[in-house]
Every structure is written in structure tokens, then in C-alpha cells.
Amino acid sequence: MQDEVKIGDYYLRLLLQEADETATPIHNPLVNKVSFTKTTEFFNNVYHRFLLSARCEMRCLCLKAMAVTYGRHHMTIGPFEDSRHFVSMLAKCTNAAERDHFILLISKLVLNKDNVRELISSQLLPILVDLAALAHLHVQRAKIQNQMGRTFRQCVSKSFQTNVIEASSEQMSEGSSAEWYYATSDNNKERLGPFSFEKMKTFYAEKTIFEKTAVWAAGLEKWEPLSKVPQFRWTVCLGQQQTGVPLYNFTELCSLCLDIMIQMCEFFPSRDENNSVVRPMPQVKKSLTE
């Protein structure tokens, strides 16, 4: 046990291996019952360890511990004042494993309405939409189970599993459509293309193109740096030498992002108890439709 990470009275790895139904309660040992002070103290201690750590493995372990703790005790812990900072850290994230753990934690933070307000104002929704759109890069979809388990979510999950048209072997190659152009000069007058997404990944690996290289494809309003295009920002720009193991494939990540957005919307319905339309439109719905 001496090699295990311990925060307070609890070993993180062992705590994370427990099922919710049989999980060890975070209690006050003096009175042997669940304690608001003890639970909040443990959550904050894990957060503090996360902020102090520079190692990806430790940061991911802390994020997962925070997610599990908040998911089990969100009513006890209440609003988390630093919710918005996780959006900022997610936006700057350059590691796929940390990205997935940030999303996992956020999926638990949205169980609290005050947290949702903070997350909306910190521009979380555009990031979730960008991440959800990566599902089209996952060409070999496995069956997934939507985590929330409600009727609409089940329909969304089922659509991922069944609404798939069988493609040819050439089309099954990731990003085989040649649609990307890149500029070879600062004024974008000299450009090459079109190339497939897979070919662009090869160019990046060979250092032919870089994060600041301007790229364009049909649908983009203007030429953008490679690192500003979500399809590249969350894939090739994360780097080749990654530490840690991602939690999700792109379909699972998309499903979790949809769960988060649906949960956020449920706190701010478009109709009141009399089924009358709410005006002005709730900010979360407005942001999603813009």
C-alpha cells in the first residue's frame, strides 16, 4: 500500500475501483456517518493535489477521483466555485487523456445548477460541440451505452449504433476525402491541395505543416491556423508522444458531450409548468442555436 496515492484517509486508486452501490462512504470517523465537512474537505484536497501535480498520470487520477466523489456526493458538496477554471484548462489542454478526464469531471459538475450557470458563462458549449463533431472520425463504431439512460439519450445512443451506412474499403480509411488545402506563404497566396485528413496528419508528422500553418476546406469562412480548426486541434495537434491513456473513443466522447449538453438544457427548459414558451430563450439554448 505504500506505493498507492493517499489523500486524507483514502487511497485514491482503491476508491476509484469501487462500485457506486458498495463504495466506501467518505465519513467523519468521530461520528461514523457521512459528513458535509469531511466530504468537501476530501474533494478540495484532491483538487489541491491536482493543481500541484505536473505528471499527467497523477492529474488524471485526481480528476477521476474528483468526478467520482462529486458524482456520489454532489448534493452534499454543493456548488464548486472553480468550475469555470476547468473550462479554461480544457481549452488549453494538449493531452488526450487529460481532455477526457476533464470532460468526465464536467459531466458530474453539471449535476448542480449553479455550476451549470458558471460553465455556460465560461463558454463550455462551443468546446462540447467541437468535441462531439469528432465522432465522424471514428469509422469503426462499437456499440455504446449512453450513461444517463433516459429515453432521449437512448435514442441518441441508438442512432450512433444503427444509423451507419456501410462504406467501401477506400471510404473506411479515416478522413479519405481530399478536401483540405494549406498555405505555403504568409499571405495565403501560395496554396497546395486538396489533401485528405490522413495526408494532412502525415504532413504534420513530417513537419511539413505546423500549428500556425493556415488551412482551409469547404465550409470554413476563412483560412485558419491548423491549431484553430477543431478537427486538427483535438487530434494531430495533441502531439504524437502522448502520456496517459484516453478514456473514450470519439463516439463515446461525443455521447458524453451530448449527455452534458442535455443535462444543462434540462435545468433551463424552454417551457414553463403551464407549457408556455419561455421568453427570452434560455442562454444555454440560445448558445446552442447560434
DSSP for 221-234 reads SS-EEGGGSHHHHT
**CA within 13 Å, CB half, 62:** 19
- For residue 68, is it within any domain? yes
Identify which of 33-47, 114-128, 175-189 has the greatest average pLDDT. 114-128
Radius of gyration of the chain (CA): 21
Please tell me whether the peptide bond between 126 and the residue prior to it is cis, using omega within 30 degrees of 0.
no
Angle, nearest 10°, between helix axes 83-91 and 113-121? 40
Q: Report how far residue 164's alpha carbon sits from residue 136's, in angstroms, rounded to the nearest whole number.
A: 11
Other CB atoms within 10 Å distance of the CB of residue 157 = 21
On whether both 88 and 202 belong to a single domain, the answer is no
Give me 112's grid cell: 448542480
Tell me which residue range forms the domain holding 42. Answer: 6-137+247-263
Whole-number pLDDT of residue 151:
46
Q: Report how far residue 157's alpha carbon sits from residue 123's, in angstroms, rounded to the nearest whole number.
A: 25
- For residue 216, is it within any domain? yes
Whole-number pLDDT of residue 1:
46
Whole-number pLDDT of residue 10:
64
Identify which of 19-28, 202-211, 240-249, 278-287 has the greatest average pLDDT. 202-211
Q: pLDDT tens digit string along 192-234?
A: 989 999 999 999 999 999 999 999 999 899 999 999 999 999 9
DSSP 8-state symbol, 282: P
Q: Report how far residue 120's alpha carbon sits from residue 126's, in angstroms, rounded to the nearest whole number.
A: 10
* pLDDT exceeds 70 at position 154: no
Using pLDDT thresholds of 50, 70 and 90, give the confidence band for residue 21.
low
Is residue 198 a contact partner of residue 175, using CB atoms and an 8 Å limit? yes
Burial class (CB in 10 A: 0-12, 13-18, 19+), 227: middle
CATH number of the domain that residue 220 is part of: 3.30.1490
- For residue 168, is it within any domain? no
Q: What is the mean pLDDT of the chain?
A: 81
Q: What is the pTM of this model?
A: 0.82
- How many domains are there within the chain? 2
Give me 166's grid cell: 456501410
On whether both 17 and 132 belong to a single domain, the answer is yes
- For residue 288, is it within any domain? no
CA 30 → CA 33, 40, 240, 254, distances in Å? 8, 16, 50, 44
- For residue 203, is it within any domain? yes
Other CB atoms within 10 Å distance of the CB of residue 21 = 5
- For residue 151, is it within any domain? no
Q: Report how far residue 222's alpha carbon sits from residue 160's, in angstroms, rounded to the nearest whole number.
A: 31
- For residue 211, is it within any domain? yes
- For residue 271, is it within any domain? no
Give me 98's grid cell: 487529460
Q: pLDDT tens digit string along 22-38?
A: 555 655 433 334 444 67
On whether both 219 and 257 belong to a single domain, the answer is no
Q: Report how far residue 266's alpha carbon sits from residue 60's, in angstroms, rounded to the nearest whole number.
A: 29
Question: In 3D, which of 217, 170, 224, 211 has the Cα closest to residue 193?
Answer: 217
Question: In 3D, which of 120, 126, 100 has the Cα closest to residue 228?
Answer: 126
On whether both 34 and 112 belong to a single domain, the answer is yes
